[in-house]
Structure 1
Amino acid sequence: MEFENILTENNDGILQITIDRPKKLNALNRDTIEELHQAFAEAKEDEAVKVVILTGSGEKAFVAGADISEFSEFSAQEGRELAAEGQAKLFDFVAHFPKPVIAAINGFALGGGLELAMATHFRVASDNAKMGLPETSLGLIPGYGGTQRLPELVGKGRAMEMILTAGMIDANQALQYNLVNHVCEQEELIDFAEDFAGKIMKNSPVAVTAAIRAINANFEAGVNGFEVEKDEFGNSFSTQDFKEGTSAFLNKRKADFPGK
C-alpha cells in the first residue's frame, strides 16, 4: 500500500515507519492515523517483520502533537468519537501489537506524539528531545491515552505535574522519570534503535509475543496478570521455539528459532 503521510522500509526484519509531515512537524491528523493503522496492520501479518521502529522525519520532531485545525470546531460528542476512534485504531493497537515496537523520539514529542510514543513498548530519545502533554493549555486534556499511560510510566505525582502544568521536559529528565528507556546523540538515534531491535531479534519471537501479552495483562482492568503469565508460560512448552531453545542450550549451540 502506498502512503502519503508516512514512509516504510523493511531492513532485515526491522520495519521502520517514519511519520513524514515535516511542514506540520509530523502532527497527527486523521489521515495519518489511518495510514499508521494500515502500516501496523500489514506488519502484523508480515512474517518478515520482527520489530517495528517508529520515528518522525527531520530533526525537529517525532510528532509535535495532533493537528488542532482538524478539530477546533468539534462538539463534545465529536470530540469523544475522535478520542475513541484514535485509541482503537492506533494507540491501543500499537500498545497490544504482538511484535516489539520501539519509538525513536527525535525532537519534539508533544500531545498526541508523546501519547503515541507511550503506546509503544520501548522509547529511545535523542539528546535534543522535548516531551510534554500541553493539552490543558488549550482547554483540553490528553485524549489518546495520555492520562492513563503517563502515570503508569512516571507515577501519579509526576504525571499530574506534567499534565496540569502543560510543561515540557528534556530527554535527560524523561530518562530520570522512566518515561524513556535510553537517551543517545541525535545522529546515533536510528542506529541505536536498530541495535536495540537486534538484541530482541536474537530471542524467540513466539516467546517475545507471549511476554508482551503477559506484561500488558497487568495493566488491563479486570484481568489477573499472574493468571495470564501462567497460561502463557504453559503454552510456551508446546512451541517449536521452546524445543529449539532448550536443545540449543543443552547442546551449547546458538538457537535458530523457527518462530512457531
Structure 2
Amino acid sequence: MWDQWAPHYNDEHHGRDPGPAADFLASLVGTGGRALELAVGTGRIALPLADRGIPVTGVDVSPAMLDELHRHRGDRAVTTHTGDMADLDTGGERYELVYVAFSSFYFLMTQPRQATCLQQVARSLAPGGNFVIEATIPRAPGLLAGRQQLAIRDLADTHLSLSAITHDPVAQTISFQEIRFDQTGIRLLPVAMRYVHLSELDLLATAAGLDLTHRYADWHRAPLTASSTQHISVYTCAGGTP
C-alpha cells in the first residue's frame, strides 16, 4: 500500500511544517543521544531532526518510501531499515528517543500488534529515554460520525480530490481511498488504520512497562483540552529503566 503512496506522499502533506516537531523531539535528546523513528516514511521529521544534530535511525515497511527519504537525505546522519514496527528488532541497540508521528501507530491494524509494538519500544529505550507518539484523537462529530463518508479535499480548475471513508466502530478501524481526478486520469491511494482511544493507549503502554509523563495538544506543548483534535504523548519506562 505505502509503495503506492511514496511518489505522492510529500505533495499530499505539503504545507505541514515539520519544524515544531523536530524542535520538540530534539529537546528530549541529551548530548550524544540518538533517535529511532517508527514509520519514518520519506523522512519528513527525521531529516530536520538530523539537521538539529540528532542521529536518527528510521524503520519503515515500504522500501519505496525509504527510497524517497534517501533521495533527499544528503549527508545527514539518517540510517534506515525496512521492517514492520510491530516486529521491531534493534539488535540490542538502545535509543534516548523513540517516536512515531502522523498517527502512523494506527497503521497497525489490530490491538495485539499495537501492544507488541509498544513492548518492543520499551526494550529499545535507553535508561531515562522517552517514547513519543503523535496521533489524532478519535471523536465525534467529524471523522467518526458515520459508517460511510465522502468528502471533498481539494477542488480546482485542474483537479478534484476526494476522500471516501468507511468506519467500523466495533473494530475501531477506518479505511480511506484518497481519489484524485485530473487531466492525466484517476489516482487511487488507499489507507487503513485502527485508531486507539487515549485511555486504551495508556493501558497498552502500562502493560508494556511504559508510564505517561506528559501529554499535549500540539508540538508547541499547548494543554490538551476537550476540543483538541490531536495529542502528543510522552512515555518513559516504568521505574526509569527498561
The structure with the greater share of residues assigned to strand is 2
The structure with the greater share of residues assigned to helix is 1
Higher relative contact order (CA 8 A, sep 6+): 2
Judge same fold: TM > 0.5, yes or no: no
Q: Return the TM-score normalized by structure 2.
A: 0.31
Q: Who wins on radius of gyration, i.e. which is larger?
A: 1
